[in-house]
Amino acid sequence: MTVFSQLALLGLLGLMVASGSTLLVLRLFRTRKLGDRRPEAHHTHQAVIPRLGGIGLALAFAFAAGLFLAGGGPDSCRTETKNLLATALAMFVLGLWDDLRPIGARRKLVGQILIASIAFFLGISITKITVPFSHNVLDLGLWAWPMTVLWLVATTNLINLIDGVDGLAGGICLMLMILLVVVGGGSCVAWIAAAMIGALLGFLWFNFPPARIYLGDGGAYFMGFLIGGLTIISSQKGTILAALIAPLFVLALPILDTTVAILRRGLQGLPLFRPDRRHIHHRLLSSGISRRRLVLGAYIFTAFFLFLGFAVFWSQGEQLAILLGFGALFILFAAGRLSFSREWFSVGHILGNSLGRRAEIQYALAQKRWLILEGSRCPDLASLGEDTAFVARKIGFATIRIRIGDDEKYWCFTETAADENCWQFRQTLPGRADCHIELTASATKPGAAHAPNQIHDKNTFSILGELLAGGWAQAVAAWEIRRR
């Protein structure tokens, strides 16, 4: 059997394993509510959809790795395959644990670092780096450990952060696996990547808009770590540029989105890894673009960078500078088409506004933490509503309306609340279409003086609205847990 036939058969087997497993998970979810977890405030969906899509992908990987170790594949990198199997499944379990019962961002990060460190000591490590253009090889020495951990944790979280729209993360992972089949040659990298191409196609059948199942943290962590691990194994075979630089081109969209998000949160005084609804895909959805058009556009964007990744591999990095230039031009073109370029280039304006609103946001974060704590202490939801209204007035909102089922309450803190010239924010309680919170604030006219307890601009209003709505949702969840 030729190499191509082997890889095609692996893809078919991966497709069958992932599709069958996903169908079983969906059936169990419908009958036993397996993995039933209420959506969170930053999610773009409101219906309760299982977050267990990673199960089928993990099983397909385990099946392919098992076949390789049983003698079906070439003799190279058997030890690496065993170690990757153990650590990638450990990362999957960490994410799955969070899907079933949230464990907090800090604990997840500690777990990721621990698993990545274990992978390093098992031999999945970046020990040398080829310097582009000069072909000089640098021995990392003691820096090998932190560099390997950084790479594995970064790829793990990049896939998780982009997993905000149906089919988006799965499609990007699919293109990465296509690249890894070529980069991997005839090694275990190509063997596993071929099986994962089939598995991802099977998963996307259920995940493409409108999605019936999501990757969840388990699937996103698993795929991100697997991609990072496969690129390291491939780099150990002597193709460092093809293995470590080429995939970065395919990851252009999540890298760009994550970089912008971290800069934005840092300037505004928000926690760097706080989930929100201000990623690129969230903004495009809010502009009226359908989920299908958004995902297809992201596929086209990533396909262009996939081509650049192949070019890096074929040229062995010789044309890296030119390819980076093409990539930058394409990003600017896409940003212009989507009306992002004007905002991105107004760096001074953005910096000034962000630094100016830091104090307001820090104050709102403190009030949010207090409100969440009150959720576990309040005797009833009516008292929690009063506490939420108290926080809303302190932050600077003009009115607040809270509806839970048939009960609705309204608070007004200013005489100008009925003014038509006001900003409005509304958010539904995740998983509860009959519950929502509405906030308003008087719009400030350009050049007008600001009142001491008044929100200054619409962007700040949106951020503060998200903080208060998220705090209210978490407080309600805390109250429900205490009531049980």
Q: Identify the residue whose tokens are 């809303």.
A: 392
pLDDT at 477 over 50: yes
In this prediction, residues 306-325 reach a mean pLDDT of 81
In this prediction, residues 339-361 reach a mean pLDDT of 60
Confidence of residue 356 (pLDDT cuts 50, 70, 90): low
In this prediction, residues 176-191 reach a mean pLDDT of 84
Residue 419: its pLDDT value, please?
Answer: 56
Residues paired with residue 423 on neighbouring β-strands, in sequence order: 441
In this prediction, residues 313-321 reach a mean pLDDT of 75
Residue 449: its pLDDT value, please?
Answer: 47
pLDDT at 418 over 60: no
pLDDT at 433 over 90: no
Q: pTM value?
A: 0.80
Residue 429: its pLDDT value, please?
Answer: 82
pLDDT at 77 over 90: no
Residue 175: its pLDDT value, please?
Answer: 93
pLDDT at 3 over 90: no
Q: 176: which 2 tokens? A: 């990465």
Return the axis-axis angle of helices 144-162 and 216-235, rounded to nearest 10°: 140
Q: How far apart are CA 197 and CA 134, in angstroms?
A: 34
Greater confidence (248 vs 468) lies with 468
Q: Which of 385-389, 408-412, 454-458 shows the lowest mean pLDDT across its residues?
A: 454-458
Beta-carbon contacts of 324 under 8 Å, excluding residues fewer than 6 positions away, are: none
Residue 321: its pLDDT value, please?
Answer: 80
pLDDT at 348 over 70: no
Residue 369: its pLDDT value, please?
Answer: 92
Q: In the chain, pLDDT over 90 holds for what percent of residues? A: 34
In this prediction, residues 38-50 reach a mean pLDDT of 58
Mean per-residue pLDDT of the chain = 82
Q: How far apart are CA 124 and CA 118, in angstroms?
A: 9
Tens digits of residue pLDDT in 447-468: 544 555 677 777 788 888 989 9
Tens digits of residue pLDDT in 83-137: 999 999 999 999 999 888 888 788 999 999 999 999 999 999 888 776 666 667 7
pLDDT at 416 over 70: no
Whether the CB-CB separation of 88 and 229 falls below 8 Å is answered with yes
Start-to-end CA distance of the chain, whole Å, equals: 60
Which residue pairs, CB below 8 angstroms and at least 24 apart, start in 268-272? Answer: 268/354, 268/357, 268/358, 268/361, 268/463, 269/357, 269/358, 269/359, 269/361, 269/362, 269/365, 270/361, 270/365, 270/463, 271/365
What would the CATH number be for the domain defined by 357-483? 3.30.450
The identity of residue 456, as a single letter, is H
Confidence of residue 239 (pLDDT cuts 50, 70, 90): very low
Residues of the chain with CATH 3.30.450: 357-483
Which range is most confident: 54-63, 93-102, 186-195, 318-327? 54-63
pLDDT at 269 over 60: yes
